């Protein structure tokens, strides 16, 4: 990280950002092109879960190349200045890398969906068998995390 003064050194602070976020931007490699999607997610303290339809570009890309990068940002606020170069942003963010696993085990699939629900203030629980069959649950096994902030101490 170039700006060490903006680095979030506490792993607990990084965990809090992941726990408070609601949108994750997932970067993938589609052949020789980048592909990024904003997704709702659930963080269970060790892995990130996202859900998807059974087919589509995201599924095809992740089957071909499961290595991903992701970003979560919070508490962002534009700060206006008197001159163009005086403008800035306050923010907290996390960047991570990981490998996507397609969750096949029904119990883990339910846990992943519960994590998604909890992330957004809901409660997990009963998922009908038909919905589970029509839903792909992906687990991002995190290999690296870093946090950055500006305008906060």
34-53 tens-digit pLDDT: 999 999 999 999 999 999 99
Q: What is the pLDDT of residues 48-93, one digit of tens each?
A: 999 999 999 999 999 999 999 999 999 888 889 899 888 888 888 9
pLDDT recorded at residue 24:
97
What CATH number did the domain enclosing 58 receive?
2.30.110.10
Residue-wise pLDDT tens digits, 111-127: 999 999 999 988 877 88
Number of domains composing the chain = 1
Q: Is the pTM higher than 0.85?
A: yes
Q: What is the mean pLDDT of residues 5-24?
A: 86
Residue 46 is given by DSSP the state: S
Q: How far apart are CA 68 and CA 29, in angstroms?
A: 8
Under a CB-based contact definition with an 8 Å cutoff, are residues 13 and 153 in contact? no
**Positive or negative torsion for Cα 73, 77, 80, 86:** negative
pLDDT value of position 5: 63
Distances from the Cα of 7 to the Cαs of 13, 53, 87, 101, in angstroms? 11, 36, 20, 29
pLDDT of residue 16 exceeding 70: yes
| Containing structural domain, residue 70 | 4-149
């Amino acid at each position: 990280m170039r700006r060490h003064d903006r680095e979030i050194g506490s792993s607990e602070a990084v965990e809090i950002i992941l726990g408070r976020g609601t949108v994750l931007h997932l970067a993938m490699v589609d052949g020789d092109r980048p592909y990024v999607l904003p997704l709702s997610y659930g963080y269970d303290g060790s892995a990130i879960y996202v859900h998807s339809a059974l087919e589509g570009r995201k599924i095809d890309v992740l089957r071909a190349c499961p290595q991903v990068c992701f970003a979560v940002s919070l508490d962002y606020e534009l700060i206006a200045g008197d001159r163009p170069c005086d403008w800035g942003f306050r923010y907290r963010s996390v960047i991570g890398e990981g490998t996507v696993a397609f969750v096949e085990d029904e119990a883990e699939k339910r846990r992943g969906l519960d994590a998604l629900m909890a992330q957004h203030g809901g409660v997990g629980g009963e998922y009908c068998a038909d919905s589970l069959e029509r839903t792909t649950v992906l687990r991002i096994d995190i290999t690296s995390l870093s946090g950055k902030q500006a305008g906060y101490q």
